[in-house]
Amino acid sequence: MASVIWFEDVGRDDIGDVGGKNASLGELIRSFSGTGIKVPGGFATTAQTYWRFIDFNNLREPIRARLEAWESGSETLGRAGAAIRELILEGRWPAEVEADVVSAYRKLSERTGRGSASVAVRSSATAEDLPTASFAGQQETYLNIAGEQELMDACRRCYASLFTDRAISYRQLNGFDQMKVALSIGIQQMVRSDLGSAGVMFSIETETGFDKVAVINASWGLGEYVVKGSVDPDEYRVFKPLLGLTDLVPILERRRGSKERKLAYGDVASPTQDVLTGSEERARLVLSDEEIVKLASWAVAIEAHYGCPMDIEWAKDGQTEEIWVVQARPETVQSQAATNLLSTYRVNSKGRTITRGLAIGNAMAAGPVCFIDHSSDADRFVDGAVLVATTTDPDWVPLMKRACAIVTDHGGRTSHAAIVSRELGLPAIVGAGNATQLLRPGETVTVCCAEGDEGTVYEGRADFAAEQILLSDIPQTRTKVMLNLADPQAASRWWRLPADGIGLARMEFVISNSIQVHPMALVHFDDLRDQAAREMISDLTRGYADKTDYFVDRLSTGLARLAAVAFPKPIIIRLSDFKTNEYAGLCGGSQFEPQEENPMIGFRGASRYHSPRYREGFVLECRAIKRLRETMGFRNVALMIPFCRSPQEAERVLDTMAENGLKRGNGLEIYVMCEIPSNVILAAEFARYFDGFSIGSNDLTQLTLGIDRDAEELSSLFDEQDPAVKWMIRKVIVEAKAAGAKIGLCGQAPSDHPAFAAFLVDCGIDSISVTPDSFVAVKRTVAAAEEIRKRGLEDRGQ
């Protein structure tokens, strides 16, 4: 049949014949047959068939004339596009083309065992799904089409969609000749995801380009709502390097979306219909852990086959429970980004938070709010404004190009608004939920996507500056320069920095921001006296049979996102170091904490871990770390004990950890914070219990000088470069080296004072851990100090 070709007979080199989408479907079927990756079968009309239809109806010259009239300015895009579409919709099928399509459809129906197979009719242009241009949603797709005449009508509508206003303008923007782009049509067996679920996944992290993570979006029903951004889907992150290893479940995040509606099958007159989801569907995660891992493994396999990051659509059949890949195309933004350049933003001051949502991109922009109901209202939009809308679709692209930033109520990372914003290089916040209600037309706001996964709209024009780091200019050093990180959502922004690992990962940030609940309130939930706390905990832990599992799950996944950025280099996680007043501020915490006059030197750190007051809470911390290392596979995790006052206390803490599956040795290193004078004085004894020391310069300074670091009256005396403090630091470095223990420092001083970093290098410290924004400066300071030290040793003949 000259007009059609079966998917299994084409591959990715056949874009000129069947377009990018169909060529990729054929490539998937040919390459992954028998591997477990399922792709629904079907066939495609050829690009030549499109031209046969155009020439049979004598449409080339009328189409060219309308396009030239638009380009010359004598006719509007809207009128030109509508006229071309009308010409195509009135066209007749050449008899042999219709016969070929109908014959193939009958054969496909026989394959599926149905009289008239339900199919998806997808447009596949010869200039789409390319590595440099996605053409996201530019042409139409029609779902649940059944019947021969219905199929031919849908095919005609696909041809017409090649000349929607958005498609015409998108081709012009990307430099494609309008009269040389043809359309192939894919006719593909439908997967009954209307009874199951569907979504999109990327084989890299879409906002940062972090190539070790796969991101999956999922919602109930047909996948169109996820693609169009009509729903807020679930989102899952999976760490790719640990996939396929025995019994590991490297899922970094499971974020439940609201999923308030779904697209389901309709009737002949309307093949699909909008349906509200039930409360049970909204509360439940769409995919099981097994399904999440399976999809991520497929993403890895498909990425490896194509040799580039991939954007993949999938569907789960609600009747058979089988998962299928229904499309795959190259990712077009991060794969084209400069790998040697890291762009960051420094926020100096900002207004109050108005609303939040998912951050798309990692940039910032400020401008007046302009709320638009429909793309037809484009004449009301002010160039350079912040576009605020319920959602967007491909008709909005010309309007989106005029905005400085975009904010939508609905959508996920794979929605139309997200994809196009990335391609345009615009900061966008999607899934904000209530932006159209909270933002006022004309008010100046700042859209910030530079602070992690979550994007924020701030009131007014924030004071911020963009910075670019050329990674090839960062020098190498003998002294390891590591990162201090706490926020899992922002960590992957720094994956390109050539750091030697993470020297300090603060557990408290995950507990206070992701968990929000005192661990003892989960252990003793039935004994809680605070009714408001009980209600909040019940809401947060919904879906967990055991409330303590909530703590273990959220802590392990939060820390896993930090560990993933460092992998396979080490990450040193400091066990919880809240003060009692900070613990009391957690939900349900006041019932379990004593009131202290000076919490800074009170019931904190190691003394809590073996105390009856907190031991059960510490057990949950141990369970989370054990899960992180053994179930998820992050063996690069080391641990650090804060505020350990004596060797005897060190022994008790290590015994408690060993009882809970965290025994030092066999790949698990345990460090101690050196922040108390006793840690320096008895360094040789402490070294018997720990693999290394990490100097906490803030606490060591306050306890050496006898100054409360929070005392404003004494702030001028608080100096980490005081001779007494430097004596302490040099002393413990010498003692650690003599004992064969590792020694590093995690504090702000090397970032603020280059001379202090040089002092540490001169002492022979093994590592310095600093904040990401100061990494490059400290790295250069250390390199210069090492060169000076090297020359000095050479001059002394050493």
Residue of 602, 623, 621, 603 lying closest to 611 (CA atoms): 603
User: How much is the average pLDDT of 28-43?
Assistant: 94
125 confidence band (pLDDT: 50, 70, 90): confident
31 confidence band (pLDDT: 50, 70, 90): very high
The pLDDT value given to residue 130: 45
Q: Is the pLDDT of residue 593 over 90?
A: yes
Q: Taking each helix axis from N to C terminus, what angle separates 148-160 and 95-112, rounded to the nearest 10 degrees?
A: 120
The beta strand positions in 50-150, using DSSP E, are: 119-125, 141-145
The pLDDT value given to residue 522: 98
Q: How many CB atoms lie within 10 A of CB 286?
A: 23
Distance CA(131)–CA(310), nearest Å, equals 9
Between CA 240 and CA 244, with CA 243 as vertex, the angle to 5 degrees is 150
Lowest mean pLDDT among 50-54, 306-310, 376-380: 376-380
The DSSP line for 17-38 is HHHHHHHHHHHHHHHHTTTT--
Distance CA(729)–CA(747), nearest Å, equals 12
Q: Is the pLDDT of residue 408 over 90?
A: yes
User: Which has more pLDDT, 793 or 330?
Assistant: 330
The pLDDT value given to residue 343: 81
Under 8 Å between Cβ of 617 and 518: yes
Q: Give the predicted TM-score (pTM) of the model.
A: 0.88
445-495 per-position pLDDT tens digit:
999 998 888 999 999 999 998 888 889 899 999 999 999 999 998 899 899
Q: How many helices (H) and strands (E) does the chain have?
A: 29, 30
The pLDDT value given to residue 335: 67
Between CA 432 and CA 438, with CA 434 as vertex, the angle to 5 degrees is 115
Q: Which two tokens stand for residue 50?
A: 């499109």
Q: Is the dihedral of CA 125, 131, 132, 134 positive or negative?
A: positive
User: How much is the average pLDDT of 612-627?
Assistant: 97
The share of the chain scoring above pLDDT 90, in percent, equals 74
718-760 per-position pLDDT tens digit:
888 999 999 999 999 999 999 999 999 997 788 778 889 889 9
Between CA 316 and CA 321, with CA 317 as vertex, the angle to 5 degrees is 85
Under 8 Å between Cβ of 577 and 599: no
697-714 per-position pLDDT tens digit:
989 999 999 988 777 788
Cα torsion through 387, 390, 396, 400, rounded to 10: 20
The pLDDT value given to residue 345: 84
- Give the ranges where 209-354 is alpha helix by DSSP (H): 224-228, 279-283, 289-306
Distance CA(312)–CA(303), nearest Å, equals 10
Which amino acid makes up residue 390? T
Q: Which two tokens stand for residue 461?
A: 């024009």
Please measure the distance between the N-terminal and C-terminal CA atoms of the chain and give it in whole angstroms.
83
Instruction: Give catalytic residues, as residue numbers.
Output: 416, 746
Residue with tokens 């320096």: 680
Distance CA(318)–CA(329), nearest Å, equals 25
Residue of 479, 559, 562, 486 lying closest to 742 (CA atoms): 479
Q: Which two tokens stand for residue 590?
A: 């006041």
Mean pLDDT score across all residues of the chain? 92
397 confidence band (pLDDT: 50, 70, 90): confident
Which amino acid makes up residue 656? T
Residue of 193, 196, 239, 200 lying closest to 216 (CA atoms): 200
Q: Taking each helix axis from N to C terminus, what angle separates 775-795 and 754-763, rounded to the nearest 10 degrees?
A: 50
59-107 per-position pLDDT tens digit:
999 999 999 999 888 888 889 999 999 999 999 999 999 999 999 999 9
Q: Taking each helix axis from N to C terminus, what angle separates 615-626 and 547-566, rounded to the nearest 10 degrees?
A: 50
The pLDDT value given to residue 129: 45
The pLDDT value given to residue 1: 56
Q: Is residue 239 within a helix (H) or strand (E), and if so which, with residue range?
A: strand 234-239
The pLDDT value given to residue 137: 53
Lowest mean pLDDT among 13-27, 246-260, 384-398: 384-398
226-277 per-position pLDDT tens digit:
988 889 999 999 999 999 888 899 999 999 999 999 999 988 788 899 999 9
Q: Which two tokens stand for residue 761?
A: 């290098």
Contacts for 531 with CB less than 8 Å, ≥ 6 apart: none
Distance CA(150)–CA(158), nearest Å, equals 12
Please tell me whether residue 199 adopts helix, strand or coil conformation: strand
121: β partners: 142, 187
Distance CA(298)–CA(400), nearest Å, equals 33
Residue of 102, 115, 141, 133 lying closest to 22 (CA atoms): 141
Q: Which two tokens stand for residue 321?
A: 């429970």
**Residue 452 backbone zone (phi > 0: left; psi -120 to 50: alpha; other: beta):** left
Distance CA(612)–CA(255), nearest Å, equals 34
The share of the chain scoring above pLDDT 70, in percent, equals 98
